[in-house]
Structure 1
């Protein structure tokens, strides 16, 4: 159909699910936010949002809800305008599928359709895939900059209610430059990765540095919900051979234009739904499956806070627990938290006696804590042993205080 007014497709009370990362349709989002000023009780369900237009959302018009305070949503979290869904990413997917989160409208960015009228989902097979089947309205922004990726997940143009076109460049990863601390942490994590490992790394400075260290490995496989430009380190060096079926499986690519060109039509990179990424039968072939995640704090039992500090929500439950528990379904596996031992100023320890925010990952879900001071292996350890190993990888200036808090009764053997 010709260009349209988005207001004709919106109803008061609608839950509007919006594509994340490269699937975020910037033209449609702008129209939606403008229309939402005059339509009551709209809720925007977002994922990894990268468009700064979210910074200008009037309070409550619409209500903005997300499973993560990442990207451009962090400012909304800081002002109290972001409603957080504190649940696993797999639960968000399930809630959409079973109608617990009843999505009425989908806004998504797609590449042009193929000769048979099917649109690839591009560089993001995100949390709202199931909503494409159930939503009352699907509005798509068709952008030739979006790659056509190798995936069984597609949408036929007949399922789309209306479209707009744009040629806005795809967003890149907001990764900061690596520091010497990042490089040291990466080197410590790399000691855990043998030839033939299957990896989940995500994006960020530490994952990018890890891949530089493991370039000389052989037979590596990627099974990661998100890949970045670090994939080139592994493919170019031969550590990952994408001519081998199943060697690189992901749900999202986020990085440079080079990355989007690389995944465009590349049959060696499989883009899958989260259910497929975590399929037990496939995980059982991984030996080992090594998952590396980040955190804000780790306490002396090995519990992880990846969500908030100082009362400010800045992270997510996200897929951390999903992926950590996936290592238990593999033939062998390791769940790894990689984090600097202190905040950037060095005055606050990331290893703490007690978490000051939510417990994202349980002590029983975490195997390894890696900082720039070493690797704490928490497998088959008592509470007292865990505490001593974690203190050993804390920053030296904070170790005495941690021991005092430990012996002062904050942590006891149980």
Structure 2
């Protein structure tokens, strides 16, 4: 049946939509659902409830990033989180029933959930989620769905506010089109497609919009409508800021930008904003990090080979002169944003005019533009029809969704939601066009750990448990090597606190790797930039040691020498790689307002912001037995004015009982320590 001939059914009842699935599909249901925001929570919960009642019909769900608001926790965490979660997510937010079952290890035997990307750390202890995780590059997911014989796809959509009857895949164009095409190309029946309309989902036109007849059924459940899932914006630490500003020196005006998610990405975006809007303040931050006006840093990595068989090798004053440091003036041409995920940072970059370079899907025009032969008509068309931001899915705060919803039409047209095969891949489409559009690309992503030989650990612990997933990281790393002027930049904090100990995130080796070392490119920690592309193992090790934290560098050198990767020598290291020195260097800039705690806005009230900082300090200072004892002792025997508003917010203004009184003392201490 052709799309134009297909009869689209309309429902208000979720149960009627589920009934359609059961009626149209014989045997097991193999249901695909988008990742993140585009997942139709209410429809999926209705499907789960039906499947629970009918164990004779197996249900296989294929999806990713099943978003679940944080649980209340216990103790001080519960006191803080419960009121915040009620306000931020709403009491009526439809938690996914299958996620709750996975967390309890109670998924019924006739149901199976297979995800290729997990909400970070949320399902580490779920046996079913861990065993049925599929490690897939984002661009290979559509093929995998065809392999599994997916016979239904359910998706949240937006309705055209003009009343045309068209629907927009809005936040998730990433996989639906690719998956349907892959399934049909395999010779399988076109899957049953059901859309759930959410009036709160922003409308995006262009490649995101389809006729209603694309779907077999459209369900518009009655209100009230729960809030869209919004990621709470987190505070940016000194280490995060140092990483973001180091990374920002690699971005070239007129180039292409891809960024991931999290506070490292937030810090990078703030650095780019400051570079454009207050270049003097931007340079003050770089100066604090050791850069001179030439854009080089005395602590930014290693470029010179220190290969003497004996004697001293000085790593303390080398600079990464071969790193792709760009001119660091404000952006004149601006950047083209092309990222699998659009988020808060892109909003800010568009607002201040950093993201503004436009592209069109016209090879001849892009070639003329690239060669400097574009005429007035070309430039007029570029301005009228060009796109400055392309993505496969979006996820962010309520402010971000409001921004998308309220954009003027001419500005909204410049945002194009596309298939993931177009955004994350060069091959299989118009490769020549995409190469012209994506010149001087910088692909920024985060990782958990990196080895001294250049492999990245981004998604899996050494015991095999999955924290998140590879997602599109490999795609962008590989693309950086395929484009002649592109770079992949993986950002990571030099250390982490674990079990009361500070451990290095730059390690000699690790049991799991997300990015193999033969694709090593650029790494950034708070202590600088390590440019590894094309380097020998010896040079890579020296560069990674130079950006590791003090106290963790010599063990790496010793491992390298023991395994014959470095010559036996005396290595002199910089004393700059110290967190206290970093805090001291950035403190004046914090006080001046150049480095705000929440550079992209906050979802916390003013008192909650103070509490977030205080509770973070408390967590760090009670991580081990000895540290906990010292902190409790200090709390019991120290005095000072209490933050009455914060104590009231935590329900500890008038503590009763010994336990509450200890909690009140600890919170009061933490607030004083972080004031």
TM-score normalized with structure 1 length: 0.91
Distance 1:225 1:69, change over 3 A: same
Distance 1:317 1:111, change over 3 A: same
1:9 deviates by 1.6
Check if 1:163 corresponds to 2:178: no
1:8 deviates by 4.9
- Name which of structure 1's ranges 77-86 and 125-134 shifts more when overlaid on structure 2: 125-134
Report if the CA contact (8 A) 1:283-1:330 is conserved.
no
2:483 match: secondary structure: coil
2:393 match: secondary structure: coil
Mapped to 2, the partners of 1:411 and 1:112 lie a distance apart of 60
Mapped to 1, the partners of 2:434 and 2:565 lie a distance apart of 35
Of residues 123, 131, 136, the one that matches 1:76 is 123
Matches within 5 A, 1:333-372: 333-345=486-498, 347-357=502-512, 359-372=513-526
Partner of 1:330: 483
1:212 match: secondary structure: helix
Check if 1:262 corresponds to 2:309: no
Partner of 1:64: 113
1:95 deviates by 3.1
1:107 match: secondary structure: strand
1:224 match: secondary structure: strand
Mapped to 2, the partners of 1:61 and 1:405 lie a distance apart of 49
1:223 match: secondary structure: strand
Check if 1:404 corresponds to 2:524: no
Matches within 5 A, 1:5-404: 5=16, 6-10=18-22, 12-37=27-52, 38-39=54-55, 40-51=57-68, 52-53=95-96, 54-57=99-102, 58-59=106-107, 60-70=109-119, 74-82=121-129, 83-96=132-145, 99-113=146-160, 115-132=163-180, 134=184, 135-166=190-221, 167-215=225-273, 216=276, 217-218=330-331, 219-241=334-356, 244=383, 245-264=386-405, 266-277=412-423, 278-279=425-426, 280-285=431-436, 286-311=438-463, 312-345=465-498, 347-357=502-512, 359-404=513-558
Mapped to 2, the partners of 1:55 and 1:191 lie a distance apart of 43
1:335 match: secondary structure: strand
1:248 deviates by 1.2
2:341 match: secondary structure: coil
1:30 deviates by 1.0
Output one character per residue of 1:258-308: Cα deviation in whole Å (capped at 9) or x when no partner. Answer: 322333451111111122223433441233100011112211210112121
Report if the CA contact (8 A) 1:303-1:361 is conserved.
yes
Distance 1:175 1:412, change over 3 A: farther
Mapped to 2, the partners of 1:175 and 1:412 lie a distance apart of 43
1:67 deviates by 1.0
1:226 match: secondary structure: strand
Mapped to 2, the partners of 1:47 and 1:35 lie a distance apart of 21
What is the aligned residue count? Answer: 408
Structure holding more strand per residue: 1
1:19 deviates by 1.9
Mapped to 2, the partners of 1:129 and 1:384 lie a distance apart of 46
Mapped to 1, the partners of 2:404 and 2:150 lie a distance apart of 29
1:408 deviates by 2.1
Mapped to 1, the partners of 2:191 and 2:353 lie a distance apart of 46
Question: Which runs of 5 or more residues in structure 1 are unaligned?
Answer: none
Distance 1:410 1:179, change over 3 A: farther
Mapped to 1, the partners of 2:564 and 2:112 lie a distance apart of 40
TM-score normalized with structure 2 length: 0.57
1:91 deviates by 0.8
Output one character per residue of 1:188-230: Cα deviation in whole Å (capped at 9) or x when no partner. Answer: 1111112122110022111111111112141111111112111
Report if the CA contact (8 A) 2:180-2:191 is conserved.
no
1:199 match: secondary structure: strand
Report if the CA contact (8 A) 2:123-2:467 is conserved.
no
2:159 match: secondary structure: coil
Output one character per residue of 1:232-269: Cα deviation in whole Å (capped at 9) or x when no partner. Answer: 33122211227752321111221123322333451111
1:249 match: secondary structure: strand
1:152 deviates by 1.7
Mapped to 1, the partners of 2:261 and 2:356 lie a distance apart of 20
- Name which of structure 1's ranges 120-129 and 81-90 shifts more when overlaid on structure 2: 120-129
Mapped to 2, the partners of 1:402 and 1:242 lie a distance apart of 43
Distance 1:257 1:128, change over 3 A: same
Mapped to 1, the partners of 2:180 and 2:269 lie a distance apart of 35
Mapped to 2, the partners of 1:246 and 1:328 lie a distance apart of 25
1:61 deviates by 4.7
Question: Which runs of 5 or more residues in structure 2 are unaligned?
Answer: 1-9, 69-94, 185-189, 277-329, 359-382, 568-675
Distance 1:200 1:365, change over 3 A: same
Q: Which one has the largest radius of gyration?
A: 2
Mapped to 2, the partners of 1:80 and 1:410 lie a distance apart of 41
